[in-house]
Structure 1
Amino acid sequence: MTTRYTEDHEYVRVEGKTGIIGISNYAQEQLGDIVFVELPTVGTSFKKGDEAAVVESVKAASEIYAPVSGTVTEVNQALGDEPGLINSDPSNGGWIFKIELSDEAELEGLMDEAAYADHTA
């Protein structure tokens, strides 16, 4: 399982041909308490960099961009009732959507954990 990060603080955790997308712990700390998540629609296709979702906190609304191209296969319905999962568990319970990767080579352009740690230091 590989996790890669964007400069905009999205992560993609790759399991086979599926990318699990969310925002990093750093991003949720910057946003503060998450109060609403606008999820994408299953079946929607995105190109890398497309706006895919919106996370609203008590401080601001923040667009979530697709870190890779692909088609949405699942959304985290639990966020509808409990958007704070992104604050309490951004990498596991707080994932936002899953995407079937259409171009795995795009992962090479993203940061690994060490590079992302340097980016947020």
Structure 2
Amino acid sequence: MTTPNPIPDTPLFDRKGSIRGYRMNKMAMALGNPANRKAFLEDEEAYLDRFGLTAEEKTAVMARDWHEMVRLGGNLFFILKISAVDPVPITQIGAAQAGMEHGAFLAQRLGKV
């Protein structure tokens, strides 16, 4: 029996999600290695192929669709490694997770205009 998600529209990182996102999380964690960061920057698609990402996972990573990466089983702490390579402000990722425009997120959550 499947337990309903207690937080609607929020992907939960549970055992099932961990298994589903294994390839993507392994790829992201490997970015801690300078040689892997270089390979990622030089040919992102080839780098993703090394980890066997599905087409859906590759599309999410290459589009920097943070919400979709999490929905596909990406652990936020792991996929933040991708943002460190770009670099992408963590508030931009927070805005994506909240389904908000970055400026509106800054204004609402941090009181910045």
TM over 0.5: no
Task: Say which structure is richer in helix.
Answer: 2
Task: Say which structure is richer in strand.
Answer: 1
The bucket for the TM-score relative to the shorter chain is under 0.3
TM-score, normalised to structure 1, is 0.26
